[in-house]
Amino acid sequence: MYLRTDPPEVRYLPKGSEHGLERVEVRDLTWHYPESGRGIEGISVVLERGSFTVVTGRIGSGKTTLLEVLLGLLPREAGEVLWNGRVVKDLASFLVPPRCAYVPQVPALFSDPLRENLLLGLPEDWAGLEAALRLAVMERDVERLERGLDTLVGPRGVRLSGGQLQRVGAARAFLRRPELLVVDDLSSALDVETEAELWRRIRGQEGLTVLAVSHRRAALEIADRVVVLREGSVVAQGALEPLLERSEEMRHLWATERDGVGAS
């Protein structure tokens, strides 16, 4: 903590050719929680540049755990991740902007103006706030706020709705201009129209590779590949329509979402 001196300047790392993504390979990723023994076991997924992949499954199937192990937020017991064919040794330091940006289920906000919560030290003249807010379908919400981007959001963003919190987290990620966007249950608090528009705008970003945890039909319907987890393992993966034909688990998840119960 910097109580008596100014904190160090946030270093801006411009995107270069060394950050580009062509292919990410996840091979046999495994990790278990020591206290329960639950976790993920032998998960393998391939993400091609510009693809949109959705990981889905029932509550407790390991969806969020997969993302956290992939990003190095939890340790690996086994498996490896390859970025453009090269093994990544330290995931936590490698999969950061501008290579990768992560939007967790509940983004962390501070009791500061919305602008500062988005920039987090980035130079405003470089960042492209308006474009990021539009991509996150947040532009009209900002217009309605009392002081726009200068509105104090309160501790942990309490002055924002759940859907606004999710989209602020998304806009913050877009500002980093990542090659790989990883999102966890991004649209669960959104109305149907806003959710559909958010996924449409994200899907329309040329060259952006997306890995999303979601049980929502709006995300599943636009995915190139759906990965179905059950009890920490992949039980099926592929395009949505063939999965609905051959996977009983996918049909269950699809019917559950239709009935408004949700699977996440």
pLDDT tens by residue, 141-169? 999 988 899 998 877 677 888 899 999 99
Enter the tokens of residue 239. 């395009």
DSSP labels, 180-199: EEEEESTTTTS-HHHHHHHH
pLDDT in tens, 180-203: 999 999 988 888 999 999 999 999
Task: Kindly report the pTM of this predicted structure.
Answer: 0.91
Q: Is the pLDDT of residue 135 over 60?
A: yes
SS3 84: coil
Enter the tokens of residue 53. 């992949």
**Owner of token pair 């039980």:** 235
Q: Is the pLDDT of residue 261 over 70?
A: no
First to last CA, the chain: 36
Angstrom distance (rounded) from CA 164 to CA 198: 12
Angstrom distance (rounded) from CA 137 to CA 199: 10
pLDDT class of 101 with cuts at 50, 70, 90: very high
Cβ contacts of 102 within 8 Å, gap of 6 or more: 67, 71, 173, 182, 183, 184
Handedness of CA 254, 245, 39, 103 (dihedral sign): negative
Question: Which amino acid is it at 62?
Answer: G
Task: Give 116's Cβ-side CA count (13 Å radius).
Answer: 11
- The residue with greater pLDDT, 92 or 108, is 92
Angstrom distance (rounded) from CA 197 to CA 218: 9
Angstrom distance (rounded) from CA 264 to CA 260: 12
Q: Which residue from 189, 124, 129 is spatially nearest to 160, judged by alpha carbons?
A: 189
Enter the tokens of residue 87. 């093994």
| Other CB atoms within 10 A of residue 13 CB | 12
DSSP labels, 132-181: HHHHTT-HHHHHHSTTGGG-B--GGGTTS-HHHHHHHHHHHHHHT--SEE
- Which of 15-19, 26-30, 55-59, 66-70 shows the lowest mean pLDDT across its residues? 15-19
Task: Give buried/exposed letters for 163-198 (b at 16+ CB in 10 A, else e).
Answer: bbbbbbbbbbbbbbbbbbbbbbbbbbbbeeebbbeb
Angstrom distance (rounded) from CA 111 to CA 244: 45
pLDDT in tens, 31-83: 999 999 999 999 999 999 999 999 999 999 999 999 999 999 999 999 999 99
